[in-house]
Each structure stands twice: as C-alpha cells, then as structure tokens.
C-alpha cells in the first residue's frame, strides 16, 4: 500500500469515529428529551459507525499497515430541537460522503484496486445514509416538532422503522 493511501485512510478513520461519538452523544440527548425511539435510532447509527471504523482498521491490518487512532473532539451534548439534531445528522453524513469521495480519488490515483473495491461499499452506504437523514427530516416535517405527531414518529423509530434505511443494503 502506498503511504498516501494509508495516510488518507487513517485521516478518514477519524471521521467515522467522530460520527460514532456524535451519534452516541445525540442518543443521550434524545433520551433526556423523552424521545426513546429517536434515541434508539441514534444508538443504532452509532453502532454502524463503529462497524465502519473497524472496516477501515481491518483493511489496514489485512494489508500489513498500522491503524492510527485519533483524538476525538467532544461532541455536541444538547440541541434546540429534534430538527436541529437531524440537521446535524445530515450535515455530518454529507461530510463523511465527501471524505469518502476524496479517499477514493487518492486510491484511484495510486492504482490501489483493493482500496477502491473496499471504498465502493462505502460509496453505496453513504448514498443510503444521506437518503435516510433526508427522509427522516421529511417525516419530522410532516409529523410536526411537538405533540402527538412527534410521539408517533418516535414510536415508529422505536419499532425500528427508520425511513430511507434498508438494513439489507450496504449498512450491515
């Protein structure tokens, strides 16, 4: 593996771990806001982000490279509303998508076929994750941000019905 690919994967690893940390903190806030279904959604996403981080770690290890675990910034602990939290989800996923695209370009330039194939899974995964965030924002708009509509959406999320999320697709 060329050093520039290894370094770019290690740099991206931080974003996956940041995402895990942000979703974990968001789950705590949802719980405090009496939205256990939203909290369950955020915990599921946090677990997926940790799986993503390990995909990168294991790719480096499988190719005899050393993963470097980064320092993580403290994530946001509170939000003004569920909508603000979901806006942060969409923004974070868009940032991860852009980083994956840049990482793919580095692997492509280095003619690193193994890295490219590994990254193709992530390109599909990010399409799904951005779609999920937008779908969830759409449902929140329809449900309303307070009262019975919000409670119904919370119950749906608690039952594992996450709009735009296909558990059989790339996210496993």
Residue 18 engages ligand FEO in binding (rule: CB under 6 A): no
Task: Tell the burial category of 141 from Cβ atoms under 10 Å away from its Cβ (0-12, 13-18, 19+).
Answer: exposed
Residue 49 engages ligand FEO in binding (rule: CB under 6 A): yes
Tokens of 15: 């974003």
Tokens of 74: 């403290």
x/- mask, ligand FEO, residues 124-143, rule CB under 6 A, reads -----x--------------
Q: Which is nearer to ligand FEO, 129 or 154 (CB)?
A: 129
Q: Which is nearer to ligand FEO, 49 or 150 (CB)?
A: 49
Q: Which is nearer to ligand FEO, 16 or 154 (CB)?
A: 16
Residue 26 engages ligand FEO in binding (rule: CB under 6 A): no
With CB under 6 A, what is the number of residues at the site for ligand FEO? 7
Task: Tell the burial category of 8 from Cβ atoms under 10 Å away from its Cβ (0-12, 13-18, 19+).
Answer: buried
**DSSP string covering 84-125:** HHHHHHHHHHHHHHHHHHHHHHHHHHTT-HHHHHHHHHHHHH
Q: Which is nearer to ligand FEO, 62 or 98 (CB)?
A: 98
d(CA 30, CA 36): 7
> How many degrees, rounded to 5, is the angle at CA 8 between CA 6 and CA 10?
70
Q: Out of 93, 107, 112, 143, which residue is the one contacting ligand FEO (CB under 6 A)?
A: 93
Residue 12 engages ligand FEO in binding (rule: CB under 6 A): no
Give me the residues that bind ligand FEO (CB under 6 A), please. Answer: 16, 19, 49, 52, 93, 96, 129
């Amino acid at each position: 593996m060329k050093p520039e690919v290894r370094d770019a994967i290690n740099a991206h690893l931080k974003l996956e771990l940041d995402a895990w940390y942000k979703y974990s903190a968001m789950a705590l806030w949802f719980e405090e806001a009496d939205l256990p279904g939203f909290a369950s959604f955020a915990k599921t996403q946090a677990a997926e982000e940790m799986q993503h981080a390990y995909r990168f770690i294991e790719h480096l290890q499988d190719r005899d490279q050393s993963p470097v675990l980064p320092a993580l910034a403290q994530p946001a602990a509170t939000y003004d509303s569920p909508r603000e939290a979901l806006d942060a989800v969409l923004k974070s996923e868009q940032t991860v998508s852009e980083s994956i695209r840049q990482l793919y370009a580095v692997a492509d330039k280095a003619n690193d076929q193994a890295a490219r194939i590994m990254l193709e899974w992530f390109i599909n995964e990010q399409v799904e994750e951005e779609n999920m965030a937008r779908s969830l924002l759409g449902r929140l708009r329809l449900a309303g941000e307070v009262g019975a509509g919000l409670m119904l959406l919370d119950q749906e999320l608690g039952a594992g019905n996450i709009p735009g999320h296909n558990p059989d697709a790339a996210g496993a």
